[in-house]
Each structure stands twice: as C-alpha cells, then as structure tokens.
Copies of this chain bind each other. A is one copy, B any other.
Amino acid sequence: MTDLSQHLLGASFQSPVLLASGTCGYGEEYANLIPLDEIGGLVTKAVSLEPRPGNPPHRVAETPGGMINAIGLQNVGLDRFRSEKLPWLRNNLRAARVLINVVGHSAEDYGAVVSGLDSDDGFLGYEINVSCPNVKDGTLFGVDQQALSALVAGLRALTERPLVVKLTPNVPDIGVYARICEEAGADGLSTINTFPGMLIDVEGRRPVLGNVSGGVSGPAILPMGVYLTWRAAAAVSIPVMGIGGIRSGSDALQYILAGASLVQVGTALFVDPSAPVQVQAGIAEYMERHGIARVADLVGALTIPERE
C-alpha cells in the first residue's frame, strides 16, 4: 500500500488532498456525499467577524472550462460559526484536518476572528484569505506589501496555531508576496485564489453576475495555478498548498511536482463530489506505478532542463 500521508504544519495529513475554501461549506453539507474523514482535510468557507449578507444573484455561472463566482463571502459570522458550525467539524472529523478560512475588512477584524476561535477545539489552524476578488476590499491586503506584512505579523502574535496565507494570483511577482508572508511568520501558503473576471449577458447588455465581476476558477486556471505555485514554492521554505482547477490525480501531481506539499480541490466538487477521492486514488496509482514511497518524495521533484 502506498502511503499518502504528509507531515507539515505540525500535524499529519492522511492524504495531500483537501477541499478548498468556499466550495465545501462547513463540511456538513457534503457529509453524505464525500467521505470527509478519509481525505486530507478541508478548508471552511470564509469566516468574518460579523455575518455577511453576500452579493445579489446571479452569483455563479459557467465560463469556458471553468466557472465564475461572486458569492461575496456570505457567511454566518464568528459567533454562529463557533456555536453552529465548528461543533459539527469537531464531532465528525477525526483524521481529516480542518483549516478555517478567515477574512476581515481590517487587520483588527482578522485578529478578532483568530482570537475568537483560538481556544476552541476541532481545527488545526487558519487560512488567511487576503485574496478574494468578490468583495470591495477583498484583495487589499493581498496586493499591498506593507499591509500584508503587518497583517501576518499581527496575527502571528495572536496564535500559535498554523497560519497559512492564501495569496492572490493578481500580482507581477508572487514570490515577493510569498517571502513577505514567510518573513512575517506565516507557516504556509495557499496558491491560488480565483482570477478576477466578468461575464456579460450580451442579449440583456448587462453583467451576468449581480456583483458585476467575480472570481474565475476551475480547469481554465490550472496552468496559471501550477506556475504560481512553482514560483511561490521556489521563493520560500514554508510549505505551499496548490489550488486551481484540480480534477484528477495527474492535475494534483502537476502542483506537487511544482512544489506543493498539499493540494486543494474546489470547483471540481461541484462537477462531481467524488472528485477528491478520485484525485487521491490517482495520486496513489501514480506512486505505485512509479514505485514512490512517500508523497514528500514528489514535492518539487521537477527536472528543469538546462538552457545553453
């Protein structure tokens, strides 16, 4: 039997496959369809200090090879997350690791969510979302180097739990932002969030999405995600989670070979809830066929040809 486990962020993951934030709710909704406790883990829908109402519909639509969404981080807010959502995760997941995706309008907001959660049980750490393109201030921290550094350093002081920062693809050099997070004390990175995009209803001459623009995800962004993961992983020594368009073991292996220690499956869940199990099986099949004992042996194991 191939060993799919990975050890990082001070914990062991039984497989490198997690579910991406915003695509698996708070776990419970998929409990009948996905054997959640048999995969690596999941990242919750973003949690903010106050509940957020989200954007008007339409909130999702298909794009060529992918989808666009502008949910607007609709969520129940910190208090109800703690009282209604976290208990389910605590009580139902034994082996799968839980990261809580955190958003805020200000550094104080982020801090309040982390502080508010930190003494609870039922999760491993945080994924700090500085890269949501669907709310007005969503990528503020993600593109402003000073603000990002201060945000991460501030959160670092508030928690001993693993702190993973989810980066935006929307910058000239993601390596710079990766290093800023590492230096400010982040334990890991997630690459990438969605790309800003827009669809127009040509007949109605209006945007398809209620929020006008949204974030593009799915297979369409796979090559961008692999590239940005490769660049981010090369820039830092903390682990990176690869995200974007993964729907097979081979897609996941592209990220892993590019330097990702874990991967997250998002949009593919909507197409087929068995996607994470298929991705896991695909990785295992590959490892068996190539006689590879541990996932860690594949992380970053890409041969870059010499150039004259």
Contacts and interface: CB of A to CB of B under 8 A. Distances in A.
B254 A303 contact: no
Interface of A: 56, 63-66, 68, 139, 143, 168, 170-173, 195-200, 202, 204-207, 210, 212-213, 216, 218-224, 226-228, 230, 245, 250, 253-254, 257-258, 286, 301-305, 307
B202 A226 contact: no
Given A64-B220, A65-B219, A222-B64, A202 B171 contact: no
A196 B64 CA distance: 18
B258 A65 contact: no
Contacts of A143: 172-173
Contacts of A216: 223-224
A228 B171 CA distance: 14
Copies of this protein in the assembly total 2
A204 B210 CA distance: 44
Nearest to A227: B198
A110 B63 CA distance: 37
A68 B200 CA distance: 25
A213 B223 CA distance: 9
Q: How would you classify the secondary structure of chain A's contact residues: helix, strand, loop or mixed?
A: mixed
A199 B65 contact: no
Given A198-B223, A198-B258, 9 more contacts: A65-B65, A66-B220, A171-B172, A196-B227, A197-B223, A198-B227, A205-B301, A212-B304, A219-B220
Contacts of A56: 305, 307
A191 to B, nearest CB: 12
A210 B258 contact: no
A198 B226 contact: yes
| Most chain B Cβ neighbours within 10 Å, of A143, A210, A302 | A302
Contacts of A253: 200, 202
A68 B223 contact: yes
A223 B63 CA distance: 7
